[in-house]
Amino acid sequence: MGHSHITIHNKEFRPYLSAAQLDEVVAGLGARLSADYAGRKPLFVVVLTGGFMFASDLLKRFVGECEIVFIRVASYEGTDSTGVVQEILGLREEVQGRHLIIVEDIVDTGTTMHHLLPTLLEKGPASVEIAALFFKPASLRHDLSVRYVAQEIPNDFVVGYGLDYDGLGRNLADVYVAV
């Protein structure tokens, strides 16, 4: 990789996955999605901010017609049974009868997806699947199916390629792991 340790906010990180390795796993996922969604014109729902770099590379690898929308998920305390209400900001597209692919940088506890999925399913899509750059099965706290995963990782803290540490590091081409 040729890169050494880096420091962000006084925390040390070591190289984990190079840009070339990331390109390889994202290309593989793009090929799978292209095959599975051939002729179905999916709507890729990209969760900002972390998903922007992954989404850009993934969508370049998707062969076929598709649409892309960028959303933000706002969480706030509510009065419903979960105690947390998810508001989806930016989803103006009609999703009824569409095949949705949620593009997420990382699924760890699964809490975001656990709250986001019911909100999307209420809108009547034909299908909803999750495509994640990283998945940490050891951290998962919810019954969640993450069908499309570029790379499973241990319960480590990673930064780079869209993922941040207190706002910094998203611009790094490689992924680093906390030492």
Give every strand in the sheet of 67-77, ordered side by side.
84-89, 67-77, 43-47, 99-107, 127-135, 148-152
Q: How many CB atoms lie within 10 A of CB 9?
A: 10
Q: Is 108 annotated in the active site?
A: yes
The one catalytic residue in 57, 105, 108, 174 is 108
Beta carbons of 136 and 104 less than 8 angstroms apart: no
Q: How far apart are CA 165 and CA 158, in angstroms?
A: 8
Residues 6+ apart with CB under 8 A from 17: 25, 151, 161, 174, 175
Angle at the Cα of 146 (from 27 to 120), degrees rounded to 5? 105
Q: How far apart are CA 12 and CA 4, in angstroms?
A: 11
The residues carrying an active-site annotation are 108
